[in-house]
Amino acid sequence: MSRKAINRLKAVLAEQGKTNKWLAEKLCKNETTISRWCTNEVQPSMDTFVDIAKLLNIDVKELINSTKR
């Protein structure tokens, strides 16, 4: 069973020229944690999504894949 990509974190970071290391430093998190978020292995909390959106100056909705087709 393939894993569904819930978040777009990896794509958004790439679009903005930011790295996992940059985000890890800004959030005081381990780079491994960020990597697991970017690969959709695990998901950050909604509060963390909001913090990430603020750091990237985007709407939090841009970090999450739509459930509509």
Domains in the chain with CATH codes: 9-60 (1.10.260.40)
8 pLDDT higher than 70: yes
Return the HEC string of the chain.
CCCCCCECHHHHHHHCCCCHHHHHHHHCCCHHHHHHHHCCCCCCCHHHHHHHHHHHCCCHHHHECCCCC
Q: What is the mean pLDDT of residues 3-21?
A: 94
Q: What is the pTM of this model?
A: 0.91
pLDDT tens-digit readout, 24-67: 999 999 999 999 999 999 999 999 999 999 999 999 999 999 88
pLDDT at residue 52, as a whole number: 98
pLDDT at residue 39, as a whole number: 97
Phi and psi at residue 15, in whole multiples of 5°? -60, -35
